[in-house]
Amino acid sequence: MKPWLLLFALACAPAAPTVATAPAVAPTTTAVAPASPEPRAAGPRVVFLGDSLTAGLGLAVDDAFPAQLGRALAAEGLPATIVNAGVSGDTSAGGLRRLDWLLGQKPDILVLGLGANDMLRGLPPADCAANLRAIVDKARAAGADVLLLGMRANPTLGPDYVAAFDAIYPALAAPPGVTLVPFLLEGVAGEPALNQADGLHPTAEGHARITALVLPALTPLVRGRSGG
């Protein structure tokens, strides 16, 4: 299976409740947040803003890669408060609409994994880039470091679209204060053993592979915010 086929379902996936260590989204959104946030842990607050991949569609919340990253960081002596604000089917515009409320969580680090659904719906890359740029700029202005999780375009959309979309993430990561993981599904997309029965969404093992990919980029950010 080609990597873009795994991405195809992201635009069509049903919205799923978000479960996090603190309220992940404003009450006006379709996601469900806990009634009472747990106390903030000693480590930095890391907010994951994304779609069904971040939400862990089809899995227990503890199996999604944000939770797996939290455990991996703790094992390295870097505890962090992990807030999973992933909403299945979300776009860059939806993420931007939710951002102000999420910034009220006072994140130290924002992990941004949006844009795949914009591409799958054929939305203009320039609009996606503008939305993601606004998210990055607002997060940095609020004092958060940004970790950007890159995506790749469906090749059937044509070379011009692919070139424009694929250029978004490296351009956003150019300024200081933004770290890039070039392709979130590297080594997972198209691997049957790492995807659920639908062939589209990663299994817990697939999320473990994503965790291994993201951890080296996230660890120094958490360490920097931990004073270590």
Domain of 7, CATH number, reads: 3.40.50.1110
Buried b / exposed e along 47-78 (16+ C-beta atoms within 10 A): bbbbbbbbbbbbbebebbbbbbbbebbeeeeb
Q: Is residue 24 part of a domain?
A: no
Give the three-state DSSP class for 148.
strand
- 51, 88, 145, 201: the catalytic one is 201
Annotated catalytic residue 198 = yes
Among the residues of the chain, which ranges form H helices? 3-8, 52-55, 65-75, 92-103, 116-120, 125-141, 159-166, 168-172, 204-226
For the whole model, what pTM was predicted?
0.84
Whether the per-residue pLDDT at 10 is higher than 70: the answer is: no
Mean pLDDT of 135-152: 97
Q: Is residue 93 part of a domain?
A: yes
Helices 159-166, 125-141: inter-axial angle, 10-degree rounding = 0
Mean pLDDT of 163-174: 96
Q: Is residue 70 part of a domain?
A: yes
- 62, 100, 127, 198: the catalytic one is 198
Whether the per-residue pLDDT at 12 is higher than 80: the answer is: no
145 touches 179 (CB < 8 A):
yes
**114/129 Cα distance (integer angstroms):** 10
Q: Is residue 27 part of a domain?
A: no
Whether the per-residue pLDDT at 203 is higher than 60: the answer is: yes
Q: Is residue 57 part of a domain?
A: yes
Domain span at 154: 3-19+43-223
Q: Is residue 118 part of a domain?
A: yes
Whether the per-residue pLDDT at 20 is higher than 80: the answer is: no
Tell which wins on pLDDT, 102 or 32. Answer: 102
Please state, for a pLDDT cut of 70, what percent of the chain lies above it.
Answer: 81
Q: Is residue 26 part of a domain?
A: no
Task: Tally the domains of the chain.
Answer: 1
Mean pLDDT of 55-76: 96
36 touches 26 (CB < 8 A):
no
Q: Is residue 38 part of a domain?
A: no
Looking at residue 84, its pLDDT comes to 97
Give the three-state DSSP class for 142.
coil
Please state, for a pLDDT cut of 90, what percent of the chain lies above it.
Answer: 70
Tell which wins on pLDDT, 147 or 10. Answer: 147
- 52, 90, 92, 207: the catalytic one is 52
Buried b / exposed e along 79-111 (16+ C-beta atoms within 10 A): bbbbbbbbbbbbbbbbbbbbbebbbebebbbbb
Give the three-state DSSP class for 112.
strand
